[in-house]
Amino acid sequence: MRMPRGGRLFLATCLGSLFVLVLYFQSITKPEAGLKTDSSPGKSRRSPLQTLYNGDQQLELSAAQRSLQGRRELLEQTCLSHMRKRQVLSPEDLKHLIVDDKHSLIYCYVPKVACTNWKRVLMVLTSDGRYTDPLSIPANEAHVAGNLHTLNEFSVPEINHRLRSYLKFIFVREPFERLVSAYRNKFTRSYNTAFHKRYGTKIIRRHRANPEAEALEKGNDVSFHEFVQYLVDPRTQREEPLNEHWERVHSLCHPCLIHYDVVGKYETLEPDAQAVLRLAGVEGTLQFPTSGKSTRTDGNMAARYFKHISPFYQKKLFNLYRMDFLLFNYSTPEYLRTR
């Protein structure tokens, strides 16, 4: 079957009771021309993406334009070089894509990459006035299922329509800084008893010699070395998918199959978030919340955690997250000892 020029195609098939979406990936051309508007006969209305990437916006945005366009082009090139051109996606694969129909937005949320604040922002945008300030929304409420719609809730034609016409964006982070942040949050905080029970007890049982009974029961003292051993253990992914907090970004958001218009980075969160809000047309009415954390996980902190991980396990872990490093143009950390 020939693909339409510059497009992507979902083929819906039913195999018994299994419903799948077959998506063909093709190198994507520049955004399509805007639609004609009734109020301006004979003139094309430029879409936000055309405004961003075709370069006739204000001069002070030129650096942001170049950066965002460069990331997108590099992602496409890396996908073509390293990923298969055909893949089967199930509706389950679309559960991380949050949809805002009012502003024609699709956001793939990645845990530990400011996703709580992005969910708060989207709750404000979709609430019809119920919320006005993102920071007034409790963090736990932002993660309640049902507060926001995800792409897997829609029919195949509705999915295709949104993927073709909505602004799609994602925010990513240096993979090992994100991983250390997830470990610190889920295994070193006393209040995360659900994670301790669900994952900590299993990690200790498998990767600690002669564990004490209390550790086996509570799972609340997992070391970073034990966590790394768990991640690279072949049994881990054979048994179930990785938890979303340490799952690879390319497995959560499928950036080689879903063409993201904006690839924001945690390292440049504020200007990138401002660019997205400007494209959505809400920059003047809504501000992305700034982080007040004083102990944010950065490269220096990640280096301290990796200091006691052997080169053998460092190499295995890097191989596990290699595609995230490649796709989003992150360099191999200098502190790694993989040779």
Helix axis angle for 175-187 and 299-306, nearest 10°, is 70
Cα–Cα distance measured from residue 95 to residue 146, given in angstroms and rounded to the nearest whole number: 12
Stretches in the chain below the pLDDT threshold 50 = 1-46, 55-59
Residues 6+ away with beta carbon under 8 Å from 249: 110, 170, 172, 175, 255, 324, 327, 328
271-273-274-278 Cα dihedral, nearest 10 degrees: 140
Task: Tell me the pTM.
Answer: 0.83
pLDDT digits (tens, 9 = 90+) for 28-81: 333 333 322 233 333 333 355 555 555 444 445 557 778 899 999 999 999 999
Residues 6+ away with beta carbon under 8 Å from 166: 99, 104, 105, 106
- The CA-CA-CA angle for residues 297, 302, 305, to 5°, reads 120
| pLDDT attached to residue 27 | 32
| pLDDT attached to residue 52 | 58
Residue whose pair of structure tokens reads 């199959």 in the numeric block: 257
Residue whose pair of structure tokens reads 């366009």 in the numeric block: 69
| pLDDT attached to residue 15 | 32
| pLDDT attached to residue 295 | 73
CA contacts within 13 A on the Cβ side of 17: 0
Cα–Cα distance measured from residue 125 to residue 129, given in angstroms and rounded to the nearest whole number: 8
Q: What percent of the chain has pLDDT over 90?
A: 71
| pLDDT attached to residue 43 | 35
Q: Which of 174, 299, 302, 308 is nearest to 229 (CA)?
A: 308
Spatial strand order in the sheet of 262-265:
149-150, 97-100, 105-108, 167-172, 262-265
Amino acid present at 153: E
